[in-house]
Amino acid sequence: MSPKSVVIVSNRLPIIVEKVKKGQWVTRSSAGGLVTAMGPVLRNHGGKWIGWLGTQEMPDKASLKSILSRSVEELGYTLIPVNITEEEIEKYYHGFSNEILWPLLHDFLSNCNFDPQYANTYRKVNRKFAQAIAEGTSEDDYIWVQDYLLSLVARELREIGVKRQTGFFLHTPFPPLDIFIKLPWRFEILEATLEYDLLGFQTERDTKNFLRCVHYLLKLKSTGRRNIKKIVTKKGEVRIGTFPISIDFKEFAKSAATEEVTKKVRIIRRNHENRQLILGVDRLDYTKGIPHRLRAFAEALAHYPEMRGKTELIQLVVPSRVNVDSYQELKQEIEALVGEINGQYTEEGWTPVHYMFRSISRTELLAYYRACETAFVTPLKDGMNLVAKEYCACNIDGNGVLILSEFAGAAAELQRGALLVNPYDIEGVSLSIHQAFSMGLDERRERMKKLRRSISRNDIFHWVNSFLGASVKNFNGGPEVDFFVPML
């Protein structure tokens, strides 16, 4: 297959649009794993991006035209907006996607709100995306649909009689059969997913979970011994593979070395002189395990008094879904824990936890990556986790330590260099914090070398080439991936 161009389809376009006053809009590029990952792909493949503008109110025609042309200049690719109403956002995005699919896919069954009125809107919005594809692309384009919000698009395309070659990549994990089976729409979602030509998952475990669900619920078996499996359905053949997403390693390493970042690193180091810094960077989300992490840090301070006065945790939290009650509660829980730890342990001239709740600039983020001796990445469940990879790429001095959750997709690739932890095991995590604190320079360097080598080999370009390569009918390759289960 050599498509004329690649078309990315995702819920959000890679820009944030805000109305300043009547007829005047400002735009900036948006944060998040997907946007970070896809930018280089489209610039290099000369493609388009189809998605929702992210605004409650649709800009008037003239403003929209200027927003889109400004963005094309900045991003280097074409944007096609899909118009979604406020009510649709409520039920398709906040409802079906984030109150049902997101917790289910991350094994948080008790957070699921299986409200039956969300499903119809989810179908309707997936149909809108299919219509936008029908109007904005041709049969020669390769349509690459992103994530759980758009699982029905291939089926909707068929229903409106539009032929396209399609791929689907799931950025989240895929849960085991016992969890997935609880979804009231389990057959519909599985069957619709099998209407894509290629399905990609983050880890071997996710792929195996998916194949098991297909096997038991739809009685369909997969074939293929190598990395790409095949399933034959009534509609044809579907290919399924594991494609761990990554980052533009060289770009991160290069940017981290710039004078601007280096200056900021010096300021951070000066402000935290003679301290070992531990860094947490997350979107506000219950899957990221921020309260567990804070408890483990408190446990480390309690059990290893030699760390007091010598180590500090910098926790950056990026606001996300802040209008949802449970996310507000999570924010309050985090802030109460930060207050408790600081209240209990702060001494004259030393504050154990530094907490920031905001989006920071890229320069600042890279400076924190470089300035901190340890990265503390402990999600309870995560599709991949790009922060772990970005930290290592920016660690150009080669002496940082990565503490990584066994339940982040990244653990499969980074298990040999990271200190792996079970984020639910507060004592075990606190032990790893202490291990990082006391680790000698030789071991730090050796571990970081392995991490950086692995990420630079399997970077974002490798991910894209593997996925697009697997779209070719007789493709037999695919990235080498480890099946990972935590070991004693």
Residues tagged active-site = 171, 382
- Give the CB-nearest residue to ligand ADQ: 33
The span of 12-20, 28-36, 89-97, 271-279 binding ligand ADQ (CB under 6 A) equals 28-36
Does 170 engage in binding with ligand ADQ (CB under 6 A)? Answer: no
Which DSSP category does 347 fall into? B
Residue 394: half-sphere exposure toward Cβ, Cα within 13 Å: 28
Q: Smallest distance from the beta carbon of 83 to ligand ADQ, in angstroms?
A: 25
Angular region, 54: left φ>0, alpha ψ -120 to 50, beta rest? left
Please name the residues in contact with 63: beta carbons below 8 A apart, sequence gap of 6 or more: 23, 24, 25
Burial of 438 (C-beta count, 10 Å sphere; 0-12/13-18/19+): exposed
Question: Number of helices and strands (H, E) in the chain?
Answer: 19, 17
Query: Across the chain, which distance is largest between two alpha carbons, in Å?
Result: 71
Q: In what order do the strands lie in the sheet with 6-12?
A: 78-82, 48-52, 6-12, 142-146, 165-169, 198-201, 236-242, 229-233, 222-223
Does 34 engage in binding with ligand ADQ (CB under 6 A)? Answer: yes
- What DSSP string describes 20-46? EETTEEEEEEPPSHHHHHHHHHHHHHT
Which of 23, 17, 81 is closest to 48 using CA atoms? Answer: 81
Query: 385 vs 430, which CB is nearer to ligand ADQ?
Result: 385
The span of 18-26, 107-115, 176-184, 382-390 binding ligand ADQ (CB under 6 A) equals 382-390
Structure-token match 């924190």, residue found = 368
Rounded distance between C-alpha atoms, residue 339 and residue 238, angstroms: 52
Query: 118 vs 467, which CB is nearer to ligand ADQ?
Result: 467
The span of 187-195, 254-262, 358-366, 457-465 binding ligand ADQ (CB under 6 A) equals 358-366
Alpha helices per DSSP H over 167-237: 177-180, 186-193, 204-218
Does 390 engage in binding with ligand ADQ (CB under 6 A)? Answer: yes
Residue ranges in 117-156 that form contacts with ligand ADQ under rule CB under 6 A: none
Reduced to 3 states, what is the DSSP secondary structure of residue 287?
A: helix
Selected from 8, 17, 37, 194, the binder of ligand ADQ by CB under 6 A is 37
Residue ranges in 292-331 that form contacts with ligand ADQ under rule CB under 6 A: 316, 318
Query: 236 vs 319, which CB is nearer to ligand ADQ?
Result: 319
Selected from 217, 218, 302, 360, the binder of ligand ADQ by CB under 6 A is 360
Does 32 engage in binding with ligand ADQ (CB under 6 A)? Answer: yes
Residue ranges in 204-263 that form contacts with ligand ADQ under rule CB under 6 A: 245
Query: 32 vs 40, which CB is nearer to ligand ADQ?
Result: 32
Q: Smallest distance from the beta carbon of 173 to ligand ADQ, in angstroms?
A: 8
Query: 261 vs 300, which CB is nearer to ligand ADQ?
Result: 261
How many residues touch ligand ADQ (CB under 6 A)? 23
Residues near ligand ADQ, by CB under 6 A: 31-34, 36-37, 171-172, 245, 281, 283, 316, 318, 359-360, 365, 382-387, 390
